[in-house]
Amino acid sequence: MAKKKTKKTAKKPPVEKNPPKEDSSLVTFNISKESNFSEWFTKIVQTAELADMRYGVKGFLVYQPWSTIAIKKMFDLYEQELDDFGHNPVIFPMVIPESNFQIEADHVEGFTPEVFWVTTAGKGDILEERLALRPTSETAMYPLYSLWIRSWRDLPLKLYQSGSVFRYEGKSTRPFLRGREFIWIESHNVFATMDEAIAQTREDMQISFNVMNGRFGIPFIQFQRPEWDKFAGAVHTYAADTLMPDGRFLQLPSTHLLGDKFSKAFDINYMDDEGESHAAFQTCYGPAISRIFGGMIAVHGDDSGLIFPFEVAPIQLIIIPILAKKQATKVKAYAEELKSLAKAMGYRVHIDDSDRRPGDKYYFWEMKGVPLRLEIGRREAQEGKVTIFRRDTREKTLVTRSELKTTIQEMGANLDKSIKRRAQDFFDSRLSRADTLDELVEQIKARKMVKIPWCSIELDGEPCAEEIKDQLAGAEVRGIDVKEKEVPSKNEKCFICGKQAGCFVYVGKQY
């Protein structure tokens, strides 16, 4: 396809504006996701009506119904998983008094540049104390934790909340993927021992896997981040990275081992069974659902538009009645009947009875990513059958009404399986390994995520990471794969400092 002429400059597509609204009935989405991911993403957000960027405040997004319904579903699945692992929900205020915010020094240093402050109220009264719009809620929740936790009987305490956080992001923003407000879940946990806290970070990684991979079909590697790239105030940070179609890393949920740093700062102590007081140990975990949504649509979509996993699709089944003049009433009635049937089975189903041509309807709902399409014409209505189209494979299957229930179930499950497989295959195809700096340079150019021998992820490795960034146009050391089994041999050296390699890390460009 010839490249479309646009007014945008090639380097930085302005993503803050929507073009004039097009007549969506005429849309045929046809953009190569792999060779032109940036355009694909920008266009699909607009065409599928996921978000409106015209709110007028940089980095703040209006979520439209088509994304909101899916995101709510994603929240449900994530919260359910947290509940199953023994967490309880809470709702804390969105503002944090500055004095609370200032309590843990590393945290303050890391987050201060990103904070929005509320300073005045009413007719311009200056607030006695500035209030931070929460960039994350450690400093909102932990002063209360200090009051709630008295003895070992109060532990473990495992709470989470769902809501917005605000960060004054300096880089250019991108709908869902990077903004100044994002919607997420944050879980904050307290334990009597460090071992239990460490076990919690492993449980968090398991939750990430169960939900993001198991339910949303997103492949990723779970990394231990280098010392210089940790959450502000954490002992260790473990973060999941997936890959965008252009070969860049996208950071997904991270879990942080906080040790007793915050509990000492916030006086979160407990009395053991002999009446002795101890500082507690903590972890926190933050799946950003808005970003996971962005990652999910990028990973699964194709050149015709979105493909939603069956479970989170805003509409799972779209019924298209094909109304020839003869028997139009019968077809309509049959469509309604199938809709009621599907609804009773618990599916999100909709009939497109607009006056667009069937072909236009097909394109439209394919672009919107609806997993299954039920086509109903005269023949289907007469014979009590239905033709089902599967969005990912584009296969059509003719089934009888009595087979509908099992067929939908199977096709939905198979769609999920196959888009997950395809995403994993793409992900794996981007992994590589380099034995020399030249090889690394080549492979980063080829948009790979590259495993290399590395001196150290402690602070003494940071200058080498800076050097990599300079020499490889911004490529970053992402950390050690937590499942890594390989230990460097004696002749494997860090490409930069030449020291004996202490570990293997992955290097790539970040989104």
- Which residues are near Zn ion by CB under 5 A? 455, 464, 494, 496-497
Nearer to Zn ion, 317 or 494 (CB): 494
Nearer to Zn ion, 258 or 494 (CB): 494
Asked whether the beta carbons of 129 and 123 are under 8 A apart, the reply is: no
3-state secondary structure of 386: strand
Nearer to Zn ion, 246 or 492 (CB): 492
Nearer to Zn ion, 410 or 466 (CB): 466
Q: Burial letters for 389-424: b for 16+ Cβ neighbours within 10 Å, e otherwise?
A: bbbbeeeeeebeeeebeebbeebbeebbeebbebbb
Nearer to Zn ion, 237 or 456 (CB): 456
Nearer to Zn ion, 49 or 462 (CB): 462
Nearer to Zn ion, 305 or 502 (CB): 502
What CA dihedral angle connects 245, 250, 254 and 258, to 10 degrees? 150
Report in angstroms how near the CB of residue 462 gets to Zn ion at its nearest: 9
Beta strand pairing call for 317-321 and 349-351: parallel
Report in angstroms how near the CB of residue 388 gets to Zn ion at its nearest: 56
CA distances from 96 to 90, 133, 487, 489 (A): 16, 6, 45, 50
Beta-strand (E) ranges in 313-460? 317-321, 349-351, 372-376, 385-390, 396-400, 431-433, 449-454
DSSP labels for 109-160?
Answer: HHHGGG-EEEEEETTTEEEEEEEEEPSSSHHHHHHHHHHH--BGGG-SEEEE
Report in angstroms how near the CB of residue 461 gets to Zn ion at its nearest: 6
Report in angstroms how near the CB of residue 479 gets to Zn ion at its nearest: 15
DSSP labels for 244-312?
Answer: -TTS-EEEEEEEEEEETHHHHHTT-EEE-TTS-EEE-EEEEE---HHHHHHHHHHHH-BTTB----GGG
Report in angstroms how near the CB of residue 497 gets to Zn ion at its nearest: 3
Which residues are within 8 A (CB) of 440 and not within 5 positions of it... i.e. 6 or more apart? 434, 450, 452, 472, 495, 507
CA 270 to chain centre: 35
Report in angstroms how near the CB of residue 504 gets to Zn ion at its nearest: 13
Asked whether the beta carbons of 147 and 76 are under 8 A apart, the reply is: no
Query: Residue 497, Cβ neighbours under 10 Å: how many?
Result: 15
Nearer to Zn ion, 419 or 496 (CB): 496
φ and ψ of 360, to 5 deg: -65, -40
Nearer to Zn ion, 428 or 460 (CB): 460
Asked whether the beta carbons of 184 and 137 are under 8 A apart, the reply is: no
Report in angstroms how near the CB of residue 249 gets to Zn ion at its nearest: 21
Residue 279 burial (C-beta neighbours within 10 Å; 0-12, 13-18, 19+):
middle
Report in angstroms how near the CB of residue 230 gets to Zn ion at its nearest: 19
Report in angstroms how near the CB of residue 475 gets to Zn ion at its nearest: 15
Nearer to Zn ion, 433 or 447 (CB): 433
Nearer to Zn ion, 149 or 503 (CB): 503
Report in angstroms how near the CB of residue 35 gets to Zn ion at its nearest: 35
Query: Residue 108, Cβ neighbours under 10 Å: how many?
Result: 16
Report in angstroms how near the CB of residue 485 gets to Zn ion at its nearest: 22
Asked whether the beta carbons of 229 and 489 are under 8 A apart, the reply is: no
